[in-house]
Amino acid sequence: MTASLGKLRLGVNIDHVATVRNARGGDTPDPLRAAILAEQAGADGITAHLREDRRHISDADIDALMEGLTVPLNFEMAATDEMQAIALRHKPHAVCIVPEKREERTTEGGLEVAREENKLAHFIAPLRAAGCRVSIFIAADKRQIEAAHRIGAEVIELHTGAYCDAHAEGRLKDRDRELKALGEMSAFAHSLGLEVHAGHGLTYETVKPVAAFPEVMELNIGHFLIGEAIFLGLSPAIAEMRRLMDEARA
Ligand code: PXP
């Protein structure tokens, strides 16, 4: 097995703190407060997805995060002119381009890079020129990885949703096939010089095999942690995830 390429970073996605806040339309719970607690509990970065419909994170949340965080912000966004302008105004540490459909409950699949290569290459160029690390959220698929590399992305984030869904539904053969693809495609992307991240749907039960892939440098985890925080509190929930990641990496 390839030696691990360094400490595995944990990015905590705080979107669903905003979901709970928005259920009542007031100011609480505050995503920035959650982000600061997450930093203190060992998060290496904070991830937030400003969706076109603003169903969770708001523009004001992004302002507050840019102002108040001491760890890097990974700003998730769709490839639209509106989002590009917001990213260029804030210049966050990282911008992760995700597909977005208005009717979906969550980001269902990876981005179709191969078919949109020219458009995406032009889209990410100003973001890179502004100093943002551009990451592309894609399925564990060789065609998409090659296309992400060709358009000049520095990072890919592999979508772990299919693996996690198969695990949750007890489809063990599918789970193992998805996991194998994630491992092989992490190595392939790394061989092209891309930094590899992974995320979506990860839980205490599913995190370790992904964390064990030596080429994976960062995991972005949100929904499960925010849910677990109801029972354990946010800091212990994050600390346990951190412990499992470190154990898998050791
Ligand atoms: N990574 C990306 C690119 C995502 O879009 C999301 C969900 O917003 C996540 C990671 C985190 O997924 P989850 O909330 O299921 O942990």
pTM: 0.95
* Residue 121 burial class via C-beta count within 10 angstroms: exposed 0-12, middle 13-18, buried 19 and up: middle
pLDDT at 103: 64
What percentage of the chain has pLDDT greater than the value 70? 95
Q: What's the 220 CA to ligand 1 centre distance in angstroms?
A: 6
Catalytic residue among 16, 49, 149, 197: 49
Give the pLDDT mean for 180-186.
98
Pocket of ligand 1 (CB under 6 A): 13, 15, 49, 76, 96, 98, 106-107, 137, 157, 199-202, 220-224
- Cβ contact 95:83 at 8 Å: no
Confidence of residue 102 (pLDDT cuts 50, 70, 90): low
pLDDT at 107: 65
User: Rounded mean pLDDT of the chain?
Assistant: 95
Confidence of residue 1 (pLDDT cuts 50, 70, 90): very low
